[in-house]
Amino acid sequence: GENVEQHPSTLSVQEGDSAVIKCTYSDSASNYFPWYKQELGKRPQLIIDIRSNVGEKKDQRIAVTLNKTAKHFSLHITETQPEDSAVYFCAARGGADGLTFGKGTHLIIQP
Amino acid sequence: GAVVSQHPSRVICKSGTSVKIECRSLDFQATTMFWYRQFPKQSLMLMATSNEGSKATYEQGVEKDKFLINHASLTLSTLTVTSAHPEDSSFYICSASLGGGSYEQYFGPGTRLTVT
């Protein structure tokens, strides 16, 4: 089955700086890679996703890059704000399967 | 659009009893729903894939006789935790997708189960 590794587990950045979270996956058949933000006790919220036929996608301060050859994808958040503090999860999915999640990154934005 | 609800949001039960959790797609039909479990400060782990009108597909290590899944209609899937024990205490979250080439999954708000 799919295995998703996520790094780092904790990331602390100064407000206004950029944050980068990286994930690798094992199954070359995976073709959908979403990123979720989760606040304590709440459901995961999709913040951006990318399909395997695209190398990069951007939505305002958030971008995702995908390297299919190397089987890794990254989340980039620019101009970080205090409200960006949360736990972020990457995930991978192939076809009609359920999602395999990374272990999560606790992002802390220092004022 | 694409709203998924869960009921109950929180439940406390005694060890040895069974608990049923409902997952509903409110404004779309979902032939496939997914059940995840999340322990405190950990990631979400897929438990099973629920298919309308057929048996659920369970992930390795998930006991199908303990976690009963029924997907009786295109808008409702239920997860029953049978003979619950304290180690089953967790956050259970369902999701559903629109299908038809749409990959995004819509998550329910989750159910916090505490077994005493």
Tell me if chain A has a CB within 8 Å of the CB of B9.
no
Chain B neighbors of A98, CB-CB under 8 A: 34, 36, 46, 49, 59, 95
**Mean predicted confidence (pLDDT) in A55-84:** 97
**Mean predicted confidence (pLDDT) in B9-36:** 95
Q: What does the DSSP 8-state code read for residue B88?
A: G
State chain A's mean pLDDT as an integer: 95
Residue B98 pLDDT > 90: no
Residue B1 pLDDT > 80: no
CA B102 to chain centre: 20
Show Cβ contacts of residue A47 under 8 Å, excluding neighbours closer than 6 positions. Answer: A35, A36, A37, A59, A62, A88
B56 vs B71: CA distance, rounded Å: 8
**Mean predicted confidence (pLDDT) in B62-66:** 95
Q: Do B46 and A99 touch (CB under 8 A)?
A: yes
Per-residue confidence band for A95, with pLDDT thresholds at 50, 70 and 90: low
B75 vs B26: CA distance, rounded Å: 7
Tell me if chain A has a CB within 8 Å of the CB of B49.
yes
Residue B91 pLDDT > 70: yes
What pLDDT score was predicted for residue B38?
A: 97
Residue B101 pLDDT > 80: no
Cβ atoms A57, A37 nearer than 8 A: no
